[in-house]
Each structure stands twice: as C-alpha cells, then as structure tokens.
Amino acid sequence: MSKASEIDIASVTKVYGTTTAVEAISLKIPGGTYCCLLGPSGCGKTSTLRMIAGHETISSGDVRLGNMVVTDLPPARRGTAMMFQSYALFPHLDLVDNVAFSLKMKGMPKAERRTKALEMLQLMELQAYATRKPAQLSGGQQQRVALARALITNPQALLLDEPLSALDPFLKVRMRAELKKLQTSLGITFVHVTHSQEEAMALADLIVVMNDGRIEQAAPPRTVFEQPATAFVARFMGDHNVISGRITDHRDGVMTIAVPQGSTFVAHDTSTPFSDTADLAIRTDRVRIGIEQTNGLGFTGSVSNIEYRGASVKLTVAGAGLDDFTILLRDRDFFANPVRVGEALPLCWGKEDVIVLGRTQH
C-alpha cells in the first residue's frame, strides 16, 4: 500500500438518537491531498472526521483507506492519526514522553521510543524543549508537540479537528503556513476541519463544503470560489451577492429572473430549467460603478453603508428589490471618486460575471 492512501467515504450516515448529523455522504479524497471540511457549526464536519478516525461509530455506509475497509476497525488499526483542537497533551509528562506515548502503548522498548520521539521533536524544531512540560510552552509550540505526537505513528492520513482555533490571529497565520509546509513535505493525506473559509482557501487542495449533514460542493478552492455550486456555498464563501428570484423568461441561452418587489436580472444560461426559480451570484469585486453601455446589466441604488478595509472599501447598496447588495472597490478607485451614504449610485457588471447557481426547487 502506498504511504499516502486515498480515503473513500461511501454513503456514510451518522445518527445520534433522533439527530441525523451526517446524511449519506460520499467523498473520495485522493492520497496526498490537503482536504478541508468546511461549514458552519453543527453541519457534521467533526462527526465526519471522527468516523474516518474511528472515534465515532458509522451508522451506515463504509470508509475505506487505501484498499482496506476500516469501517469497523479501532482507531489504532486504521493507519490514521488525529490531532485534537485542545491538543490533549499530558500535563505531567515532558515533551519526549508526550510524543512517545502511543509507541509506549504499542509496547515499544523505552530507548527505541525515546529515540523516535526525539527525531520527531527535531522535525518540529522542538528538540531544545524536550524536557519541558506542555505548560512551559507557547500555544504554537504546544500545537507542534500535538502534531509530533500524531505523526510519530507514521500515519497514512492525519486528521485535524480545528487545529488552529486555539491560537491568536497572528500565530494562526504562521502555523497555517507550517501545516501546509509539513503536509507537502510528508506527502500524506491531511483532513482538516474548519469553519473558516479563509483557512480552507489558504490550505486546501480540496475543499468540502458541508451544510446540514450533506456535502454541498467538493472541489479545489478556486472552483469553489469562482463556480460555487449552490446558493449556500456562494453565501458561505462570502464575497458574492446571491440574488434569488422567479424565472420570467428563458430562451436562446438567456434567462431573466425577477426579484420579489424588485427588478429583473439577466444571466446567460443554456441549461434546461427544472424549476421556476433560480439563484444567481455576482462577485462583489466584479461590480463596477457606472452604467454598462453594451449589455445594460446593473441597477441604480442608494448607498447604505461604507466600510474601509485598508486595501479595499466595501459599499452596501440598496435598490432593485435588494437591500444589501455589496461591492468591493480598490481603495484608490474609491478615493478617486468617493461617495457618501445616501447617494444614488449606478452599478454594472459584465455578463460573464453572473453565475447561475444550483436551482432551488419549491
């Protein structure tokens, strides 16, 4: 079996009493992938991760690692290792004993396991702290100990549950880069649970967006951002205006939708409609100020909020039946022609900037 094995989740369901936490999800994570399970609180990310790890029973379906079905195997026999949010380090043990712990459980002689633990501490650049206790380390160092402890079993896949959430924002960004570097150099599969879209975008080769126990989209970060599959994904990833309306016309590859008590919006769409409603997404950074002469896409609204963000300025505009249409301008474009709250502002976009999302059926 190759070191980096594919993880195959086949129609996996998790039921706790009357709650279905994960509903018949199927997902293939290729070996050597950095995969982020992303979604809001309660969507089933942790349950999914814990089922891969074997810390949670699988109500139905199967999990395969490489060519081995691991559904009914205990965690220690799966070839996976888990790093917990709280790091779960033993406070009374020094770093060597913390890192060597699982080897001790496997019955490895003391000298051998200490050598291996020291090697692992060296990999994490922690050898100078080998005799310290976890409380004598910074948050970032504790995280590296937890990583060393998980990796010492030589796993085919490392499972990480919100590994950066205990760190301050500065350290979070630094440790994020270290995680990515580590995964690239080890070449093993990482499955990382997060509710931060920014974290997932920065780290993942494969983002799996979950909502209410199901997978909304599984794709590389750029695809998830540029072609969100559903209205939920577009809203959750942010930086998109999602417009929902009734289809009033759809022919020759042009679809028109009407927003309740508002205007109509046009999208180029050659698919066959299966419902009478549709969701469109327009990226906030693709909207321009002005009137589009050639295609007439846009509307004039009233500025309701202005947020300065340093490199950019975010404007919220109400109009056309929408009360929170957002546009993101580069700071120099905004300050070249600043606008004020309450001012009328014409907005426009190109036809390629309108994405048709998975239609909702009512």
Ligand X SMILES: Nc1ncnc2c1ncn2[C@@H]1O[C@H](COP(=O)(O)OP(=O)(O)OP(=O)(O)O)[C@@H](O)[C@H]1O
Q: Kindly tell me which residue out of 21, 52, 219, 303 binds ligand X, with binding defined by CB under 6 A.
A: 21
Nearer to ligand X, 47 or 143 (CB): 47
Minimum separation from the CB atom of position 167 to ligand X (A)? 17
Is residue 41 a contact point for ligand X (CB under 6 A)? yes
Residue 18 vs 261, nearer CB to ligand X: 18
3-state secondary structure of 51: helix
Size of the site for ligand X (CB under 6 A): 13
Helix, strand or coil, per DSSP, at residue 167? coil
Does 39 bind ligand X (CB under 6 A)? Our answer is yes
Rounded to the nearest whole angstrom, what is the least distance from the CB of residue 126 to ligand X in the complex?
Answer: 28
User: Quick one: 42 or 61, whose CB is closer to ligand X?
Assistant: 42
Nearer to ligand X, 61 or 262 (CB): 61
Instruction: Give yes or no for residue 138 binding ligand X (CB under 6 A).
Output: no
| 316 binds ligand X, rule: CB under 6 A | no
User: Smaller CB distance to ligand X: residue 27 or 356?
Assistant: 27
> How many Å apart are CA 141 and CA 93, to the nearest integer?
15
First-to-final CA distance of the chain: 47
Q: Of the two residues 25 and 267, which places its CB atom closer to ligand X in the complex?
A: 25
Contact call for residue 163 and ligand X (CB under 6 A): no
Structural tokens at position 9: 């989740």
C-beta pairs of 244-249 under 8 Å, 24+ apart in sequence = 244/277, 244/278, 244/279, 244/280, 244/360, 245/277, 245/278, 245/280, 246/276, 246/277, 247/273, 247/275, 247/276, 247/277, 247/278
Q: Count the residues in the chain.
A: 362
Is residue 16 a contact residue for ligand X (CB under 6 A)? Answer: yes
Q: Is 126 in the site for ligand X (CB under 6 A)?
A: no
- DSSP secondary structure of 265-301: EEEE--SPP-SSEEEEEEEGGG-EES--TTT--EEEE
Asked if 29 contacts 36 with a C-beta cutoff of 8 angstroms, the reply is no
Q: Is 19 in the site for ligand X (CB under 6 A)?
A: yes
Residues in 185-204 that interact with ligand X by CB under 6 A = 195
Nearer to ligand X, 38 or 175 (CB): 38
**Closest CB 41 distance from ligand X, rounded Å:** 3
Nearest alpha carbon to residue 283 among 178, 203, 354, 179: 354
- Binding string, 42-81, against ligand X, x = CB under 6 A? xxxxxx----------------------------------
Stretch near ligand X under the rule CB under 6 A, chosen from 40-48, 258-266, 302-310, 318-326 = 40-48
Q: Is 161 helix (H, G, I), strand (E, B) or coil?
A: strand
Tokens of 353: 């900037």
Closest separation between CB of residue 83 and ligand X, Å?
A: 15
Alpha-carbon span 106 to 357, nearest angstrom: 51
99 or 210: whose CB is closer to ligand X? 210
Cβ atoms of 32 and 4 within 8 Å: the answer is: yes
Binding site for ligand X (CB under 6 A): 16-17, 19, 21, 39, 41-47, 195
